[in-house]
Structure 1
Amino acid sequence: MKKVFLTISTLFIIVGITAFNKPDDAENASQVSSPTAAPWKILFDGQSTKGWHSYGQTTTGAAWKVEDGAIHLDAAAKAAGVAGGDLVTDQEYKDFDLMLEWKISANGNSGIIFYVHDDKAKYPDTYNTGLEMQVLDNDGHPDGKIPKHRAGDLYDLISSNTEPVKAVGEWNKAEIVSRKGKLELFLNGTKVVTTTLWDANWKKLVAGSKFASMPDFSIYKSGKIALQDHGNEVWYRNIKIKEL
């Protein structure tokens, strides 16, 4: 009897400890991904430009090269006449969370452009329709002296509220979240821009910008992602997107 009593007592202790350590339903919910949550989609496999093409083309310009797990715009090749062009996703996105890393050369300029309407016959450049998160050497490029043109800014529309950009040659982490008209830009984990698209205030912002003369700028609520060829050395890697 004594042996049985000890065994039962031990069992109650084990059950009690397990129940104490078990998280409640709310805690469980935060630790387990929802079965309906959209998965991250890898936009760059680190080995090829599959899933991308140069704007207005069906293939990728040879000035875009894949090296050491990154997409690199070879400025020397571009200067020698090798085709480049803004690199554009094959697929369009509406509400999304886009994450990537970028590295810029000294005096360099580029950008992450989104909601691009891929029609070069109608729109000569991706920025005729798409919005841009600026990629820049703030200290070396002339645009660094222009408000709303610095790294992390919503180009020519909204300046970053802080500038957590890293030095030239270092990798920066960028994130663009657009959902139901709410747009947020993050740089190196810090939220730098927040705005609402397509409302009356947005229209005022556009009217006061260089895009005022482009009637179809930012009108599309679904579009492609573009990496800008500004003729300067730039690198992108770890590109992924989640549809929201």
Structure 2
Amino acid sequence: MKKILGSCLTVLLLGACGEEKPKPKLEASTNKDWVIIFDGNSTDALRGYGIEDFPEGIWYVENGALVASPDTTNRDLVTKQRFRNFELEYEWAVDTAANSGVFFHMQEDLSMEAGNGNSPNWLDNYELQILDDENFYDTLAVRSAGSLYDLIEPVAKELKPIGDFNRARLVHNNGHVEHWLNGNKVIEFEMNSPEMKKLLNESKFKENPDFHSHQEGHIMFQHHGQRVYFKNIRAREIE
């Protein structure tokens, strides 16, 4: 009987080890209070890239969501607050064939003229891609929704239909980055690891020696010329 019980216990332990680990939670003691960036109404925590005010008309609030207008010139949104180590939560949805992204540690050191019709800084920082995978012309997985744009393909990705909101979570802690999408961890990497340096050296970012060289800065929501939606945006610093 002892042998049977021991064997059963071993099986149970091995089964537990084989289960997918639950979503890690940061200890409450290591986090400051949440900063509400957008609550469905107020845009006071945001402003346009390179300007002091919220870019009315380029972005607008509708049905509790921030919406990028496709009928205007591009201007990204940045948080007024700057972050170093942080946790960011937000929800996003796209219109048909829409493209956008979320950047972090952003600096405002470029003019609005990017030379290719896109918003500034997109070649300078890591981007968590937002995209309509079904209808956008570029179908490479490394540029698909949830990817670390042009660097890392997302894994275990589950997307909502066009028009429905996806839940996203981005964590940066001393160079360790995680991107969660609809409850699944789709990206994880170390900024200064040999693996990441190799990826950068083999990418189109290799000509930029200062790529993501800053350790703190703004969080930025990209205006790429198509209609995208953001809501329930909040962030908190990690000590």
- Give the alignment's TM-score, normalised by structure 1: 0.79
Q: Which runs of 5+ in 1 are unaligned?
A: 1-32
Larger mean CA deviation between 92-101 and 60-69 belongs to 60-69
Number of aligned residues: 206
Moved more, 106-115 or 207-216: 207-216
The match for 1:109 is 99
Matched residue of 1:164: which SS?
A: coil
Tell me which amino acid in the other structure corresponds to 1:201: E
> CA 1:140 to 1:116, structure 2 compared with 1: closer, same or farther past 3 Å?
same
Q: Where does the alignment leave 5 or more consecutive residues of structure 2 unmatched?
A: 1-26, 115-119
| Partner of residue 98, structure 1 | 88
What is the CA deviation profile of residues 134-176 of structure 1, one whole-angstrom value per residue up to 9, with x for unaligned ones? Answer: 1000010012x11310010011110001221111111000110
Return the alpha-carbon distance in structure 2 between the equivalents of residues 180 and 120 of structure 1: 25
Q: Which has the larger radius of gyration?
A: 1
The equivalent of 2:63 in structure 1 is 68
Cα contact 1:174–1:188 (8 A) shared by 2: yes
**Greater shift after overlay, 189-198 or 215-224?**
215-224
Structure 2 CA distance for partners of 1:65 and 1:200, relative to 1, 3 Å: same
Compared CA separation, residues 197 and 104, structure 1 to 2 (3 A): same
C-alpha displacement of 1:36: 6.4
Q: CA RMSD in A?
A: 1.9
Could you say which residue in structure 2 is the equivalent of 1:52? 46
Look up the equivalent residue of 2:200 and give its one-letter code. Answer: V
Q: Is the Cα contact below 8 Å between 1:198 and 1:219 reproduced in 2?
A: no
**Matching residue of 1:134:** 129
When residues 120 and 48 of structure 1 are mapped into structure 2, their CA distance, relative to the original with a 3 A threshold, is farther
1:170 aligns to 2:158 (yes or no): no
Letter of the 1:211 counterpart: F
C-alpha spacing 1:182/1:36, structure 2 compared with 1 (3 Å): closer
Q: Distance in 2 between matches of 1:223 and 1:73?
A: 22
Please tell me whether the aligned partners of residues 64 and 84 of structure 1 are also in contact (alpha carbons under 8 angstroms): no
Q: CA deviation at 1:35?
A: 6.0
Q: Secondary structure of the equivalent of 1:148? A: helix
Identity %: 34
- 8 A Cα contact 2:98 2:131, kept in partner: yes
The whole-number CA distance in structure 2 between the counterparts of 1:106 and 1:127 is 22
SS of 2:224's partner is coil
Match of 2:175 among 153, 175, 181: 181
Alignment of 1:1-244 (within 5 A): 37-61=31-55, 62-75=57-70, 77-78=71-72, 83-121=73-111, 124=114, 125-143=120-138, 145-244=139-238
- Structure 1's 49 and 120: CA in aligned 2 closer, same or farther, altered over 3 A? farther
Partner amino acid for 1:101? Answer: E
The letter for the 1-side match of 2:97 is: N
- Write 1 or 2 for the structure with the bigger share of helix: 1
Moved more, 187-196 or 129-138: 129-138
Hey, what's the Cα distance between the residues in 1 that align with 2:154 and 2:161?
17
Contact 2:101 2:128 survives alignment (8 Å): yes
Look up the SS of the partner of 1:198 in the other structure.
coil
Secondary structure of 1:120 counterpart? coil
**Aligned-partner Cα distance in 2 for 1:56–1:217:** 20
Deviation at 1:37, TM superposition (A): 3.8
Native 8 Å contact 1:96 1:178 kept in 2: yes
DSSP 3-state at the match of 1:113? strand
Alignment partners' CA distance in 1, 2:170 and 2:45: 19
Aligned to 2:19: none
- Between the aligned partners of 2:30 and 2:134, the Cα distance in structure 1 is 45
Q: 1:114 to 1:37 in 2, by over 3 A?
A: closer
Quote the offset at 1:122 in angstroms: 10
